[in-house]
Amino acid sequence: MSNFPENPDESDSYLTLAGKSAGVFKDQGSKFLYFAFPIKSEDDIKAHLADLRKNYFDATHHCFAWILGKDGQFFRANDDGEPNHSAGDPILGQIRSHRLTNVLIVIVRYFGGTKLGVSGLIKAYKTAASLAIEENVVVREWMKISVRLKFPYPAMNEVMKVVKGHELEVISQEMELDCRMVLSLREGLAEKVLGKLNEIDGIVINPD
C-alpha cells in the first residue's frame, strides 16, 4: 500500500524538496547540524553522505534517513551509534509525515557533554529533521515518459497543437521532409496524448 494518499488527478506525481537546506539546532550543549537534499538514486545518497563525513569528520554521529520511489517504497534509517530507534526513525518519521519522497536528511551531532536520554534524543532528532524540511521548499514532481515521433512536415501544425495544448516538453526535434521529435509528458496524460497524436495522418510513434 502506498505511503502517500492518491488523488486521481495527481496519481502520477510525488512531493519532494526543491533543493538543499542546512542549519543548526542546539540542545543542552549538543549541536545538531541538519541537512536535507532532494535525491534520485542511492548513488546520490552515497555522495552526500561521503561529503558530509569528509567535511564533519570530527562529529560524534552522522544519523540519517531517506526515502526513494514515487510511493515511498524504498527507505532506510540509520542511528550511527545512537541508541536504537532514537535518531534514524525520528528523521524518517518527519519525511513521511510531510508525505515526501526522493529525500535524504542527515543530522550531524556534536556531543556537548550532557546526555539527553532516549526520549531527549528522539525529540532533538525529530526537531532537527523538521527544521530541515521547514527551511526548504516542498515541490510537486511528475512521473514522466519520453515519446519519439516521426511524421511528414505538413503534419507539423497538428503535432504542435497537441504539444501546446497539453504543455508537453520538446526534448529534441529535427525539421526535414520527415520530421522527428522527442517529447516528455506526464505518465497520467500518456493515453490521452497518444490518442490525439495517433489521429494525425502519417505519424509514427516510437519508430525503429
- The pLDDT tens digits of the residues spanning 19-69 come to 999 999 999 999 999 999 999 999 999 999 999 999 999 999 999 999 999
Q: Which amino acid is at 75?
A: F
Conformation bin of residue 167: beta by default, left when phi > 0, alpha when psi is -120 to 50:
left
- The pLDDT tens digits of the residues spanning 145-188 come to 999 999 999 999 999 999 999 989 999 999 888 999 999 999 88
Is the domain 143-205 a CATH 2.120.10.30 member?
Answer: no
Q: Where in the chain is the domain with CATH 3.30.230.30?
A: 13-140
Is the domain 13-140 a CATH 3.30.230.30 member?
Answer: yes
Give the DSSP per-residue string, 36-79: EEE-SSHHHHHHHHHHHHHHTTT-SEEEEEEEESTT--EEEEE-
Q: Which residues contact 1 (CB under 8 A, 6 or more apart)?
A: none
- Which pTM does this prediction carry? 0.79
Q: Are 147 and 182 in contact (CB under 8 A)?
A: yes
Q: Where in the chain is the domain with CATH 3.30.70.240?
A: 143-205
